[in-house]
Amino acid sequence: MLLWFLALPLPALASVDKTLGVSPALLSKYSAPKSGSWKCLDGSKEIPWDFVNDDSCDCPDGSDEPGTSACPNSTFYCQNAGHIGATIPSSRVNDGLCEPECCDGSDERPGVCRNACKEIGEEYRKKRDAERKIQKTGAKIRSSYIAFAHKEKKRLEALVESSAAEIAVREKEVARLRVIAERTESLSAAALEHKQQSRERPLYTSLMSHASALKALQREHKKHLEREQQLGDILDTLRKGYNPNYQDMAVLEAVRGWEYLAGLPHIGVEEDAQKAADLSVSDEEAGIAETGDEKKDDEVAETDEEEWTAEDLKTGLDELLNTDYVSLLMAHDEHVKTPPPSTLFNLRGYLPDSLVPQYEEMRETLLSWLGVFGIAGTDVEKSSDSSKARTALSDAESALNKVISDKKNAEEDLGEIFDVQGFGAEGEWKKLDGQCLQLDSGDYIYEVCLFDEARQKPGPGKGGQTFSLGKFSSWNPSPDVKPGEPAYYEKQVYDRGTRCWNGPERSVILVLKCGTENAIHTVAELEKCEYQFTGTSPALCLPLDAKDSVREEL
């Protein structure tokens, strides 16, 4: 073995040293040329092959010294067999310090640094395998998030489509109800006007004649009452003032007649005699009394029958004459015109659901035309129906507006699902929209509801206020990171939270990495009222790239 080594030609031995620090990609450029002269990698100069790695810088690009620190602009590659190769600046070669990047110690002369690549490599692979496992599991969850986004997209598209169709139907319905409401209102007004002015309607005319007859009777009645009063006064004066000794029979008869009519006692009879007369009435007087009682009974009977008393005549007649005959007439018309249930009204129950809207449309139109021609009374004449029509219209308008706003929201959501600056190019974040993650730090419970708001709440058993730490404002805002890159989704900014006393508005930077769970792991208040949360989410676990993993194994 030793003999075989000694038998190797010298240049071959030298070439081993000459490739020291050369990366695998450039290895082919560092082989001994037949001519003996070697071209610098930038092609600017030819130098003797022996000048390569002779610890003296010859090439302007430093390519002749890959394994020494002679050229300040060169780099050194350590192979790190058993781990992963690394490149360091040449200035760090042979400086007496073991570079952590070069676990094989090749950056220093042999014997200076121990080769720790085996352990470091094993440790690294263990860690990497654990991470890969997490990534693999996370990626599966992520793909379920993506599937959710696609489903959500379909759902929203269907919602937009059905909303558009519903809007068309509801717009027609609103237009139809608007026509009905306006027509109802104008018909109500016109009907009232018509009834007020009409002198042809027999009922109205008859009512008005009764009213004027009653007015005339009331006037005459009052006149007669006044006359009766005056006559009574005259007869009272006569009764009290006449001289019974004159035996004027005409006067006596008048006085007696008046006393009988007015129910007065006979004047001139002694008080005692009157009392006696009151106790044992004469036949004649008994007859009179009897007649008076009968008269009273008659009055009662008459009153019962007509339900009007003299008192009613005095007070009730005025009230009766103040009646609003137009309203009465309209109320009567409404009552008379209330349509009996007819086939037209019952038909709806026999129709299949799909035909009901057309039937309703047709029925309304037909009824309104029947109303116009006076063939059928229409509900629209009623003022209560005019407000019913208004209510139906405003209900239909609210229902329409709701569908319009649902459609608008669905369209906005659709626009964000696969937006790189929204829920990601694959929609992987949509599933987490509004999901709240919490961390209990003792003093506070920190919470972030993704894409919504971050909060700081008092910890369990601690009093105090809940502060808003800000609303979602953007993904990683760094100018070095482009939207859509993995690093873009590794940060979220929440800002414009509750203002800090004597400080800024509270804000949060949420730093995320791939993990099998959506969780916050740490919270730190880096500056006053500026918080940093760190956490994990499966949405960040990209599928393992087979090519990458093979390359890393090598």
**Interface segment toward ligand MAN; rule CB under 6 A; list 34-42, 134-142, 522-530, 541-549:** 522-530
The CA distances from residue 171 to 178, 244, 402, in Å, are 10, 99, 12
Residue 99: its H or E element: none
Near ligand MAN in 452-471, by CB under 6 A: 456, 467
* Residue 527 C-beta: closest distance to ligand MAN, Å: 9
* 360 versus 525: smaller Cβ distance to ligand MAN: 525
- DSSP-derived pairing of the beta strands 530-537 and 507-514: parallel
198 phi-psi bin (left φ>0, alpha ψ -120 to 50, beta other):
beta
Per-residue DSSP letter, 69 = S
* 160 versus 529: smaller Cβ distance to ligand MAN: 529
Under the binding rule (CB under 6 A), the answer on residue 525 touching ligand MAN is yes
Residue 401 · residue 136 · CB < 8 Å: no
374 phi-psi bin (left φ>0, alpha ψ -120 to 50, beta other):
left
Q: What is the DSSP string of 279-299?
A: HS--HHHHHHHHHHHHHHHHH
* 73 versus 441: smaller Cβ distance to ligand MAN: 441
* 173 versus 530: smaller Cβ distance to ligand MAN: 530
At residue 137, the 3 state secondary structure works out as helix
Number of residues that bind ligand MAN (CB under 6 A): 7
Tokens of 53: 């790695």
* Residue 531 C-beta: closest distance to ligand MAN, Å: 8
* 78 versus 529: smaller Cβ distance to ligand MAN: 529
**Interface segment toward ligand MAN; rule CB under 6 A; list 414-422, 484-492, 524-532, 537-545:** 524-532
* 161 versus 527: smaller Cβ distance to ligand MAN: 527
Under the binding rule (CB under 6 A), the answer on residue 523 touching ligand MAN is no
**Interface segment toward ligand MAN; rule CB under 6 A; list 31-39, 48-56, 407-415, 523-531:** 523-531
Dihedral angle sign, alpha carbons of residues 233, 239, 240, 246: positive
Out of 174, 329, 529, 541, the residue judged to bind ligand MAN by CB under 6 A: 529
Which residues fall within 8 angstroms of residue 171, CB to CB, at 6 or more apart?
Answer: 400
* 380 versus 448: smaller Cβ distance to ligand MAN: 448
Per-residue DSSP letter, 58 = -
**Interface segment toward ligand MAN; rule CB under 6 A; list 101-109, 182-190, 484-492, 521-529:** 521-529
Under the binding rule (CB under 6 A), the answer on residue 501 touching ligand MAN is yes
Write the secondary structure of 149-177 as one string of H (helix), E (strand) and C (coil): HHHHHHHHHHHHHHHHHHHHHHHHHHHHH
Under the binding rule (CB under 6 A), the answer on residue 500 touching ligand MAN is yes
* 467 versus 489: smaller Cβ distance to ligand MAN: 467
Under the binding rule (CB under 6 A), the answer on residue 373 touching ligand MAN is no
**Binding residues for ligand MAN, per CB under 6 A?**
456, 467, 500-501, 525, 528-529
